[in-house]
Amino acid sequence: MTGNISPISQADLAQRRQRLRRQRRVRFLQTAWRLLAVGGLAGGLVWVTTLPVWLIREPGQIKVEGNRFLPEQTVRALVPITYPQSLLRLEPQAIAQHLQAKAPISEVMVSRQLFPPGLTVRIQERLPVAVTLLTSADAQLLTQKPLKDRAGAARIGLLDESGVPIPYENYTLLQPTVKLPSLRVIGGQEYYRPYWSKLYREISRSPVKIAEIDFQNPANLVLKTELGTVHLGSYGPRFPEQVKTLDRMRKLPNQINLNQIAYIDLRNPVSPVVQINASKEVTKANVP
């Protein structure tokens, strides 16, 4: 059984074509308006970024927080900005990476401020705890400011408590008035970097002042202390015990003239030995 299909009149076809043309016209207008809106928004954004109210015109618009030793003016001078600069075009992450590369800074957070326009740079400084030298003779380089050649710069440096090296030349140029650490470490970094954090923690806790740590002979770690030169043998797990024994020997000047001591032998911290200069005599120290 078949149904009858009513024919479509020419008038109906004309109306349908007209509706399709209207729909296409509406879609075209909608697309055009969207493009105009996006273009206007982009143009407005560009225009806003060039307004004087959004410009960084001078270093004084950069606020520095968290600095203890680095002068605020020094940090501002290191920020890679050509003035005047649009605030909205600045890249905080790039600025932070630049500061970490150019200054002894461990962490940097840079944020933009719209009212009034400016930058806030919050830093955490990397503080040196020791001066590093390849040999004892390199100590003379410390009197050269700035260092005379690059070969000398490679033989001297600074170290923070985590074992991260800090370029000596950069640090002294940025902070010429800051006093350098009194502790010196002599020898190649490959000898002490792997366990520097633990070693420094024990050294810093010692009531006996330690001025120098000599790693030039890996088989015999030598300390220069207020009691004299101390031989420890190879660095190992007994190091904390050796430091504690050194602390218990603080009354040694009451028993022996320190000028007569060649060195204190703490290879065996249970039985420390004092080598006397004059008679070449080996004496057991009286340790409580």
For residues 114 and 233, state if they share a domain. Answer: no
260 shares a domain with 151: yes
pLDDT digits (tens, 9 = 90+) for 108-125: 999 998 888 899 999 999
- Total domain count for the chain? 2
Size of the chain in residues: 288
Average pLDDT for residues 17-29, to the nearest whole number? 75
pLDDT digits (tens, 9 = 90+) for 25-78: 777 777 777 877 776 666 555 555 555 567 889 999 999 999 988 889 999 999
What domain range includes position 68? 54-125
How high is the pLDDT of residue 20?
74
The CATH number covering residue 280 comes to 3.40.50.11690
Establish if 27 belongs to a structural domain.
no
- Residue after which a domain boundary falls, among 67, 91, 125: 125
Residue 8 lies in a domain: no
The per-residue pLDDT for 88 is 82
Average pLDDT over residues 194-204: 93
Residue type (1 letter), 247 = D
Q: Which tens digits make up the pLDDT trace of 254-287?
A: 888 888 889 999 999 999 999 888 655 555 555 5
- Judged by average pLDDT, the poorest of 11-25, 67-81, 135-149, 163-177 is 11-25
Choose the final residue of a domain: 125, 155, 187: 125
Q: Classify residue 170 by burial, with Cβ atoms within 10 Å: 0-12, 13-18, 19+.
A: middle
Q: Inter-axis angle of helices 196-205 and 239-248, to 10 degrees?
A: 10
Both 278 and 137 in a single domain?
yes
Mean of per-residue pLDDT scores for the chain: 84
Residue 107, domain CATH: 3.10.20.310
- Are 144 and 273 part of one and the same domain? yes
Band the pLDDT of 1: cuts 50, 70, 90. Answer: very low
Same domain, 78 and 141: no
DSSP secondary structure letter of residue 102: H
Q: Give the list of residues 6+ apart from residue 106 with CB closer than 8 angstroms, or none.
A: 100, 124, 125, 126, 160, 164
On whether residue 12 sits in a domain, the answer given is no
Tokens linked to 31: 């697309």
The answer as to whether 25 is a domain residue is no
Are both 205 and 247 inside the same structural domain? yes
Per mean pLDDT, which range of 2-16, 80-94, 167-181, 257-271 is the poorest? 2-16
Q: Write the pLDDT tens digit of every residue in 222-233.
A: 999 999 999 999
Long-range contacts of 172-179 (CB under 8 A, 24+ apart): 172/145, 172/146, 173/146, 174/70, 174/74, 174/103, 174/104, 175/69, 175/70, 175/71, 175/74, 176/145, 178/69
In this structure, of 46-55, 83-92, 174-183, the range with the lowest mean pLDDT score is 46-55
